[in-house]
Amino acid sequence: MVVARRARALRDEVGYHDLLADLRKPGCPACHGGHRAAWRYLDALLWEFVNDPEVRARLRASLGFCREHALMLLAVASNRSAGSGVGILYEDLLRHVREELISASRSRTRSASRRGRRSSERPVRGRCPACESANFVATNYARILATAPEDSPPIEGIRRPMRGICLPHLELGLRHARTEAQAARLVELYLRGEEELRTDLTEFVRKQDYRFQSEGLTDAQASSWMRAVYRLVGEPLPRKPPER
């Protein structure tokens, strides 16, 4: 009875079904889910909100997007042939940065002449709104993985070959873990995936030697050198719209 109730509560968690879908493909599910959320946010922005005053103000506060999501914005716009939306937004942002720099420069000159002290020279950058969309999804995934029972579908999914949490999403999950046990579970999931990956890497490197080349590489070994990089920095940005 309690088990059935826990299983039902788990299925009702925000993001549960998306997490299971993202576990069907290799890599970090939090990256897949986060990329999809950021892509949709940017797509909706270009489609509907380029001229929305509140959105413009929010984007000025963050000076647009972080590097990763600014590059994703270019991919979204290319897919939609929506370069004009990006142009409108970034003309506004360039002008805002210019005004901030000139104003900071004026106040620096004034304070230097008064007290010989330097004030801020660069505009202050708020949080990237696309990161917030991505982190919302990734945090939900991390919470489900941190609390799901051992024999539940999310844990079975993350333990399949070529799955695992990347280091940035482990760190995000640890910041939101509510108990020591949840934090320990996330670290254990990261380490288990990393151990499997290192075994693939070791075999990949060994088989580069001409004496062992005839043994051939498995798919997991052949992709291990790229997956090792993704494990430490997160999965690469998608170039195409999400399938779901």
- Where do contacts with Zn ion occur on this chain (CB under 5 A)? 28, 30-31, 66, 69, 128, 130-131, 166, 169, 234
Beta carbon nearer to Zn ion, 15 or 207 = 15
Angle at 61 between CA 58 and CA 65, to 5 degrees: 80
Beta carbon nearer to Zn ion, 66 or 88 = 66
Output the smallest distance, CB 111 to Zn ion, in A: 33
CA 109, 110, 116, 121 torsion-angle sign: negative
Beta carbon nearer to Zn ion, 28 or 186 = 28
Long-range contacts (CB closer than 8 Å, 24 or more residues apart) made by 49-57: 50/85, 50/88, 50/89, 51/88, 56/89, 56/92
Output the smallest distance, CB 41 to Zn ion, in A: 10
CB 49, CB 82: distance < 8 Å = no
Beta carbon nearer to Zn ion, 31 or 207 = 31
Output the smallest distance, CB 205 to Zn ion, in A: 24
Output the smallest distance, CB 114 to Zn ion, in A: 38
User: What Rg do the C-alpha atoms of the chain give, in angstroms?
Assistant: 23
Which 3-state string (H, E, C) describes 180-205?
Answer: HHHHHHHHHHHHHHHHHHHHHHHHHH
